[in-house]
Amino acid sequence: MRPRLISSAHVKAIAAAVIASTGLLCLPGTASAGIREARVLIDNGDLDGAYAEALKGQKAGDVEAAGLVAAFNFNRATDPRKSTDEAWADLTRLAESGSAEAAYWQGDFYQRRGDYQTAFRLYTQAVLKKHGWATYARASMYEQGQVDVASEFDRKINAYTDYRSAAELGLGMAWMKLGILGAKGMITNGRPTYVHALAYLTVALEKLTPAEERTTRSDLVAYRNQVAGLLSPLQVRIANEGAAAGRKEGPSALSDKVSTLLEKERDQRLAGNRDNRASQGRDESARKPLCLPDTNPAVDCEGPRVR
């Protein structure tokens, strides 16, 4: 069966329904030490250790840790006492009770199977609780055209907005996506912004998790170097200054810094061109005429006199 796209009206309806039914505009409470440590271990590629830490969080009453445990049980059959159906039932119950972790993993399941409407609803539930990977996944739905929006421009801007939010939540892969979108011109409706792209990719290299370092770093370095090769030394310097702003204050600060510096550089270049033209004009007017065969001998001319 062909996957169904989500209409733009349905997008708004889903978001409104999620907010109304779960009250997810409230920010999540402080995560337990178990879920925090579990996420670090996932970033490091230690899934067994992550599962053990998530179990500790679940025992401490953390609904997010419980959601991660349920996801492990469903995806890896970690707990031999639970069937896949029982693990899925746990995941559903936790998602319905407000677990962003459970909602994210269920959304991933439905997106992979082409049920984009359900995936979008679940991702949105998790996005509203500041779940980084759910935000990244929803951005990917926009980017891949799995959500039907009013225009191609809306599709691009929604993808960019979600990737930027995921970058603000610390995802190195989201920083990388911002760089790729910039280089492809998806941020500026077709016009590549290589200086912005280089700045985003520079920060992305510093934000990768250890697991991502092993799988992604070499490709990212190659792509960053390719973009850098398209720029002048001055533009590379501007990108580096933008990256410095992004490290401290996030992707919006990076974008603003690069745009401001590029505008300043353009204004200085235009002013310099005007000064050069004016200077060249004065030089031309002051220059002596060339000495031609018919030049009056009394005239002070430039060059050897031709007899």
Burial class (CB in 10 A: 0-12, 13-18, 19+), 84: exposed
Alpha carbons 195 and 231: distance in angstroms, whole number: 7
Greater confidence (287 vs 259) lies with 259
CA distance 55 to 49: 10
What average pLDDT score do residues 174-198 get? 88
Note whether residue 69 is domain-resident.
no
Terminal alpha carbon distance of the chain? 92
The pLDDT tens digits for 264-304 are: 999 988 887 766 655 554 443 344 544 444 545 665 655 44
Helices (H), the chain: 8-22, 33-43, 47-59, 63-76, 84-96, 100-112, 116-127, 132-143, 152-168, 172-184, 194-207, 210-228, 233-249, 251-286
Find the radius of gyration of the CA atoms of the chain.
29
Confidence of residue 110 (pLDDT cuts 50, 70, 90): very high
pLDDT tens string 19-49:
333 333 323 333 566 788 888 898 888 989 9
Instruction: Kindly state whether residue 242 falls inside one of the protein's structural domains.
Output: yes
Residue 241 located in a structural domain:
yes
Is the per-residue pLDDT at 162 higher than 90? Answer: yes
Domain assignment present for residue 75? The answer is: no
| Contact between 265 and 234 (Cβ < 8 Å) | yes
Token pair for 265: 């550089």
- Domain containing 248 equals 170-288
Whether residue 237 is contained in a domain is answered as yes
Q: In the chain, how many domains are there? A: 1
pLDDT of residue 22: 34
- Average pLDDT value for the chain: 82
Is the pLDDT confidence value at 236 over 90? yes
Statement: residue 8 has pLDDT above 60: no
84 within some domain:
no
Residues 54-106 pLDDT 10s: 999 999 899 999 999 999 988 876 777 778 888 899 999 999 999 999 999 99
The answer, as to whether pTM is greater than 0.85, is no
Cα 194 to Cα 136: distance, rounded to the nearest angstrom: 22
Model pLDDT, residue 184 = 87
Query: pLDDT band at 12, cuts 50/70/90?
Result: very low
- Residue 236 lies inside a defined structural domain of this protein: yes
Say if 249 falls within a structural domain: yes
- Closest by Cα among 76, 70, 62 to 102: 70
Q: Is 49 exposed, middle or buried (0-12, 13-18, 19+ CB in 10 A)?
A: middle
